[in-house]
Structure 1
Amino acid sequence: MTDIRRSLTKRLMERTQEATIVARFAKNAINAVGYAIFDIKNLDLQAVQRLPAVYPGSKSEVARPVPLGGSKELHVSDLPPVEPLVFNNLQAQSGSSVFRHHSSAFVGSEIYEHLDRVRMDNEYETCIVQGDRVALKCLGVTKIDKGICAFGQGSSNWYHWIAEYLPTVLLSQHLPSAYAGYPLLVPEAALTVPSFKDTLDLCRGGRDVVPMKEAQLYEIAELLYLPPQVSGPFNVRAGYWPEPKDYTQNIDLMHELRNLILNALGVQRTGDEPKKVFLARPPGTRSYNQDEIITAAKQRGFEPVRLEKLSFKEQVQLMHNADFVVGPTGAAFTNTLFMHAHSKSLIWALQEYSGSCFFSNLAHVCGSEMTYCFLNSGTPISDSFEAFRASYHLPVDTFCHHIDTLLDEEREE
């Protein structure tokens, strides 16, 4: 029934652009199936108060993925000082970057400036966009008195949590003393998943935390919002694929985050094995001929490891100690952030993601050399939702050519 309502709402949204009487009928019909229409506005321009900067101006450094034999392509731009924004009576879900306020839907500049490309959907909320308006599901509301926004689209995803939301948690330590009693509003996973909680505790500086359920809509009487310093599209619209222009990465803040975690955990390089790590994963989405590839990797001295079976500190220690890491694109490569400066990695991904800078950005932060191998999907794909589930085949000879070339280069050095 839910899919039927979504499909009907999508068709009705298209009719809201027609003549007045048709548009009025369409709007009433949308309300009847449990959705409401909101005007999309730039969140950054709607604050009731802007606080003094808590972090100086910096540079955004975005690194495009480098294929074998390619050259590094770095996109650098200026970032303004980080000025916290204060909002009153915004409604939000922890897994969404869309804030509701009366008849408006506020989204940050990183989304607003790419509305033609970026999708705002999450697992619990389908955002049906038509022009500068969006239809959102009507939900019951739970009240929160005050808090600091450390949630948004993808905040329960390991990559997005570490790279995009943890920097915000870190910045909250720089807020004026008047906001010392404001808790961090975080996705429930930040307290229930051990690795998430470990990272939260390392960066929150003792600040209180309030968990938010993803399927629940909350109204926050006073919300403190720190403009994101690292961002990238969680999903893009059909016909589009991620490009470097979709990303921002505050390089100074990411260095600060990396160093804080390494120092807090007391992680240092040792002579312990393994020095060559294969990031294996259990069967599931994006399945591929992993057994064949692992066999070839083992012949070259690589040890298969399942990072999800390790504690966060064990993950960081393993990655920081490794000289060479290989594996398919996925959450495990988030820990690239903790590799040492002279390490190398090989990652394979669908060719549609040749402009997806998630992990290449993290490699740039730590100074590791990351090489990509791009592949074709086993089935036709038209958008990032389909790509996330798509299976593929990595030819063994292709893998061997890539890995042998990189290992030969390492020996020559």
Structure 2
Amino acid sequence: MNDLYKKVFIKLRILVFRYSLFSKIGKLLPYQFVNLVNRLLNTRLRVSKFVNIDQISNKSINATSDNVRIYSPSIYGKPEKSRVEEVADKSIYIHRLENFLVYPRSSLLINASNNSVFVEYNYTKSKDLIFKDDYIYEVVNCLIYYLPNKENIIKVKKGISLLGKGSWNYFHMLLEYLPKLYFIEDNKSEYTLLVNHAFRDQDSFMFLSGKLFNGEVLYVNDRDVILVDELIYVTTPLYLTFNKKTAFDLSDMRYNSRIIEWIGALNNILNEELTHKLEELEPFEKVFLSRSNLTRNYNCTGIEKIAENKGFMIVDFSELPFLHQIAIMRNAKFFVGPTGASLSNLVFCKAGTIGLTWMHSAWGEFPAYSTLAELCDVKLFYLQVKSSGSDYHGAYYLDEDYFSNTIDSIEKEYLSVNERV
């Protein structure tokens, strides 16, 4: 209960500061004064200016082009609703840092020598983001409110960080964090790999990381903080806004053009292992991606029944070994399923594969999978679904006739007669 009181007290203090006269005066109130008040009141809350970590880099990864394209979801039958936005190629920086604190569920980095705070740059406006996690409480007027943890500190001599926002999620690990290992060309074996504890027993991570790294792995719990004497921190090659308050748009994604190189390397890593697995599996060409742990609730029972009646194999990737998942996607000519982390596996599909997915309108123009599909030459269509509110994790209803008719139309347009059954 004491912890609850402390959290409520800290939140109230943040709100008071945000809407107070001092906040309006802005720079006339030094953040150092706020820290002094916090110390006098014996709270752990600290306030600091923060620096984009890219400003201290001494090495960057060369991009293969000046600009990249972000693609909006392509609604089947409504090509006029599709948009493409050309943006600057995202830089990748390799930072070598000394005596730094690393936080497992945020991009927060603190120089333990002078308490200066660094974060990886966000392309999305701070006012539209939810920064709150176990340590970051708020970002207000270019100041970061955070709780330095001095209780659960684990010391590591040499470390490579795969920690940060979303580092417990399959999509983010596959396309944001694991590529960091790929882009570090130096000998990595003498370093400890810092990984979110969610991947401790995940065969996908264990298999792929084992192909890229042969050193010690430290699985970090949410409340731990790692103090690293010598830290290698690589900025993400693919940026996707995490925890946004409002609907997504195309500006919420950026990537370095060499992410295509990483996707190619991924497939090359798997090719030899997949040869035998593909021979073992019955080659289903039509697959429905089910989700037993669905958080975006919809009428999945009726939708899955329709798909099954049309000859789709119903699979739940959360119940299958990693190589089995990849073999299924490599065999598929037509996959169907809601947006979610399992859709990340479209990067393993053959060029020309057809996909059908959906998300309700509260998600806006969420560009992650539509852009990935374009990069991998997968033809991914979306269904248009209205949401019942602004919460993109809320429940929705997918019209079953609309779903059924769209599958029929796609099969008629893109699949041969033999492939439809």
* TM-score, normalised with respect to structure 2: 0.84
1:157 aligns with one of 157, 166, 169: 169
- The residue that corresponds to 2:354 in the other structure is 344
Q: Residue 95 in 1 paired to residue 105 in 2?
A: yes
Residues 9 and 199 of structure 1: CA distance in aligned 2, closer, same or farther (over 3 Å): farther
Shift of 1:45: 1.0
Structure 2 residue 267 is the aligned partner of structure 1 residue 256: no
Contact 1:12 1:27 survives alignment (8 Å): no
Q: Offset at 1:184?
A: 2.4
Q: Deviations over 1:301-322 (max 9, x none)?
A: 1121111111000000001101
Q: Assess, with a 3 A threshold, how the Cα gap between structure 1 residues 112 and 217 changes in structure 2: closer, same or farther.
A: farther
What is the identity, as a one-letter code, of the residue corresponding to 2:75? Answer: P
Question: In the alignment, residue 157 of structure 2 is paired with which amino acid?
Answer: D
**1:244 is aligned with what amino acid?**
L
1:375 paired residue among 382, 385, 391 = 385
Query: Partner residue of 1:17?
Result: 23
Contact 1:5/1:33 (<8 A) preserved: no
Question: Which one-letter code corresponds to 1:387 in the other structure?
Answer: Y
Task: Give the letter for the 2:224 counterpart.
Answer: Q
Q: Following the alignment from structure 1 to structure 2, what is the Cα–Cα distance between the partners of residues 333 and 6?
A: 39
Quick one: distance in 2 between partners of 1:90 and 1:397? 56
- CA apart distance, 1:341: 0.8
Q: State the Cα distance separating 1:248 from its structure 2 match.
A: 1.9
* CA positional deviation for 1:21: 7.9
Q: Could you tell me which of 220, 224, 227 is aligned with 1:216?
A: 224
Matched, 1:278 2:288: yes
Moved more, 287-296 or 93-102: 93-102
What CA distance in whole angstroms lies between the structure 1 residues aligned with 2:356 and 2:320? 21
1:391 pairs with 383, 391, 395, which one? 395
Change (3 A) 1:142 1:262: closer
Quickly say closer, same or farther: Cα 1:202–1:365, change in 2 above 3 A: farther
Alpha carbons 1:35, 1:135 under 8 Å: kept: yes
Quick one: distance in 2 between partners of 1:29 and 1:12?
Answer: 13
* C-alpha displacement of 1:329: 1.2
Q: Note closer, same or farther for the CA distance 1:12–1:168 as it changes in structure 2 (3 Å cut).
A: same
Q: Tell me the CA shift for residue 181 of structure 1.
A: 2.1
Equivalent in the alignment of 1:182: 191
Q: Distance in 2 between matches of 1:345 and 1:309?
A: 21
Specify the alignment match of 1:295 in structure 2.
Answer: 305
Q: Distance in 1 between matches of 2:303 and 2:173?
A: 29
- CA drift of 1:229 comes to 0.9
Is the contact made by 1:342 and 1:367 (CA closer than 8 Å) also made in structure 2? Answer: yes
**Which range moves more in the overlay, 182-191 or 12-21?**
12-21
Residues 197 and 283 of structure 1, relative CA distance in 2, 3 Å threshold: closer
Tell me how far 1:61 sits from its aligned partner. 4.0
In structure 1, how many angstroms separate the alpha carbons of the residues matched to 2:193 and 2:322?
21
Sort the Cα spacing of 1:113 and 1:145 in 2 relative to 1 into closer, same or farther, 3 A.
farther
Q: Which residue of 2 aligns with 1:245?
A: 251
Residue identity opposite 1:303 in structure 2: M
Corresponding residue SS for 2:175: helix
Given the superposition, is the C-alpha separation of residues 164 and 411 from structure 1 closer, same or farther in structure 2, using an over 3 Å criterion? same
Q: Deviations over 1:175-219 (max 9, x none)?
A: 2x4x65223222223333222222222332x24333322221222
**Gaps (5+ residues) in structure 2?**
none
Letter in 2 for 1:223: L
Please tell me whether the aligned partners of residues 27 and 37 of structure 1 are also in contact (alpha carbons under 8 angstroms): no
- Picking from 106, 118, 133, the partner of 2:129 is 118
Change (3 A) 1:13 1:314: farther
26 and 36 in structure 1: CA distance in 2 versus 1, 3 angstrom threshold: closer
The answer on whether the counterparts of 1:12 and 1:26 sit within 8 Å (CA) in structure 2 is no
Aligned counterparts, 1:76-95, within 5 A: 76-79=86-89, 82-95=92-105
Percent of paired sites with the same residue: 23
1:324 paired to 2:324 = no
Measure, in 2, the Cα distance between the counterparts of 1:39 and 1:104: 8
Name whichever of 335-344 and 259-268 sits farther off: 259-268
After TM superposition, list the pairs within 5 Å mapping 1:44-63 onto structure 2: 44-47=54-57, 50-51=58-59, 53=60, 57-58=64-65, 60-63=68-71
Which residue of structure 1 aligns with residue 147 of structure 2?
137
1:308 aligns with 2:318: yes
Q: Is the 8 A contact 1:325 1:346 kept in 2?
A: yes
Conserved 8 A contact 1:12-1:29: no
TM-aligned CA deviation for residue 22 of structure 1 = 11
Q: CA deviation at 1:117?
A: 3.4
Secondary structure of the corresponding residue to residue 400 of structure 1? helix
> What is the alpha-carbon distance in structure 1 between the residues aligned to residue 330 and residue 46 of structure 2?
48
| Alpha-carbon separation, structure 2, partners of 1:354 and 1:331 | 18
- Residue 179 of structure 2 corresponds to residue 167 of structure 1: yes
CA distance in 2, matches of 1:274, 1:332: 17
Name which of 200, 204, 209 aligns with 1:195.
204
Letter in 1 for 2:16: L
Q: How many Å separate the matches in 2 of 1:301 and 1:269?
A: 20
Query: Is the CA contact 1:169–1:184 (under 8 Å) kept in the aligned structure 2?
Result: no
- Matched to 1:117, the amino acid is D
TM-score (norm 1): 0.86
Distance in 2 of aligned mates of 1:79 and 1:185: 27
Aligned length: 396
